[in-house]
Amino acid sequence: TKIRGIPSSSRRTRAFAQSPDDQNRLYAGTTEGLWSSEDGSATWRLITQKDLVINSVLALPGGIVLLGTEGAGVVRSIDGGQTWLASNEGFSERFVSKVVFDHANRRVLAGIWGDRRHGGVFAAASPRGPWTRLGAGLEGREVLSLALLGREALAGTDDGVFLSDPETGGWARLATVVDGVDMHPRVKDLLALPPRNLLAASSKGLLRSGDGGRTWTRPALGLTDEVSALAVSPDDINVLVAASPLGFFRSTDGGQNWAQVSPGFGDFQTHALAFMPSDDRVLLATTGQGLFRSSDQGATWVRCTGGIPYSDITGLAIHPDGRTIYASDFTWGGIFRSVDSGRTWERLPTDGLASDRVWTLGLDPSAPERLLVASPTGGLHLMVPASTPTGAAGGGG
């Protein structure tokens, strides 16, 4: 039966608990927050935010109440529901889209995708956590990319570029105005280059700012209206490569002018681009049909074989030794490693991961033997792969 006093819009009551201290105190966890009754269910009142979706409720002696929520992890109260605090060491149920190491502020940043209510950007002093969400300003937005400009962090979202305040941690949207129109683009990739050069790969094309985001231009990249990935040479920050549905473009003047160098991969999108740190002629591209390698800054491409599948390769991390590469398969699952610059590959064990479908990867620059792995259902995990290859795994070529 419907519990009287709880609005009909909250008809999905998923959990119910009685206080062990007072049999008349009841808790009902619904799709619109936690409701409490102190008179044996005669009347009810909302005691959390209404946008909290609650899947489980546990009432313990001493006024302790634990809530299992959808998107916000575990939330706890120690005063019978008067005040609430997050009770998470991390964000195990969130989809991590991007991880960056913020050396200027001695922290790791993680962007959250697919959680508009409880997402944003999280920070921790080390990859092991604990993680806390940075300040306000990103509510209702998905974070697709991250970049660093000095002590400031930049977040590429489904509603443009946001800049963090290094003192407060809050976020402010940068107006990406081009020809009098604020673009509000979906920003898939970001580059921040000294002194104040910003480039955004977006649904509205390539956007560039030379003054830290105060003003923007849209350099011409053929007839394309979308750019999905960017990379900067490890030897010269003026040399850039951009990926679009029409192909690959290169700039030698910091992104002011571009020329097409190859036609690209057809119908499947390039997720990420990266130069090999040991050779700025060599580029890697993750795509919906495998990992590709170029030995001439994107002019020609060859699909990687030798054990890595022809699948949706999304995650890419390159060791500073210039030989070791990690890549992940988001469709069928698996993390793959090459120790010979991408010629042969082995599949790594993924014991302990909630899912071996991994979207993004990252290496800790201070300890590059540690691999950060982000799956869509298991949050962020830290792996230390064995240094000795176990033999290449088959699949895809």
Higher-confidence residue of 124 and 56: namely 124
| Least confident range of 119-123, 211-215, 217-221 | 119-123
Higher-confidence residue of 183 and 352: namely 183
Give percent of the chain with pLDDT exceeding 90.
Answer: 49
Q: Which of 184, 226, 230, 231 is nearest to 205 (CA)?
A: 226
CATH number corresponding to 95-383: 2.130.10.10
Residue 395's pLDDT band, with cuts at 50, 70 and 90, is very low
* Separation between Cα atoms, residue 5 and residue 314, nearest integer Å: 48
Give percent of the chain with pLDDT exceeding 70.
Answer: 89
The percent of the chain in helix, strand and coil, each rounded to the nearest 5, is 0, 45, 55
| Least confident range of 84-98, 122-136, 202-216, 271-285 | 84-98
pLDDT at 91: 59
Q: Per residue in 106-124, is it b (16+ CB within 10 Å) or e — as a string?
A: ebbbbbbbebeebbbbbbb
Q: Which of 62, 9, 63, 61 is nearest to 36 (CA)?
A: 63
Greatest mean pLDDT among 70-79, 109-118, 195-204, 366-375 = 195-204
Mean per-residue pLDDT for 252-270?
92
pLDDT over 60 at 333, yes or no: yes
Mean per-residue pLDDT for 46-60?
80
Residue 226, helix vs strand vs coil: coil
pLDDT over 50 at 7, yes or no: yes
Q: Which of 119, 107, 116 is nearest to 148 (CA)?
A: 107
| Least confident range of 128-132, 258-262, 319-323 | 128-132
* Average pLDDT over the chain, rounded to an integer: 86
Mean per-residue pLDDT for 252-262?
96
Mean per-residue pLDDT for 370-394?
69
pLDDT at 4: 53
Asked if 218 and 227 count as a contact pair (C-beta separation under 8 A), the reply is no
| Phi, psi (deg, nearest 5) at residue 9 | -65, -20
pLDDT at 370: 86
Q: Which of 290, 294, 296, 250 is nearest to 270 (CA)?
A: 290
pLDDT at 2: 45
Q: Which of 99, 108, 213 is nearest to 160 (CA)?
A: 213
Longest dimension (CA), the chain: 75
* Separation between Cα atoms, residue 36 and residue 58, nearest integer Å: 13
pLDDT over 60 at 241, yes or no: yes
pLDDT at 218: 96
pLDDT digits (tens, 9 = 90+) for 74-85: 677 888 777 776
pLDDT at 374: 85
Sequence-separated (6 or more) residues with CB below 8 Å from residue 4: 41, 42, 44
pLDDT at 394: 32
* Separation between Cα atoms, residue 310 and residue 287, nearest integer Å: 9
Higher-confidence residue of 346 and 40: namely 346
Asked if 340 and 291 count as a contact pair (C-beta separation under 8 A), the reply is no
Q: Calculate the alpha carbon distances from 354 to 93, 333, 348, 351 in Å.
A: 10, 11, 15, 9
Which amino acid, one-letter code, is at 17? A
Greatest mean pLDDT among 40-54, 114-128, 338-352 = 338-352
pLDDT at 72: 61
Beta-bridge partners for 172: 163
pLDDT over 80 at 153, yes or no: yes
Mean per-residue pLDDT for 112-133?
80
pLDDT over 90 at 300, yes or no: yes
Asked whether the whole model's pTM tops 0.85, one would answer no
Mean per-residue pLDDT for 7-28?
77
Q: Where are the domains of the chain?
A: 8-86, 95-383
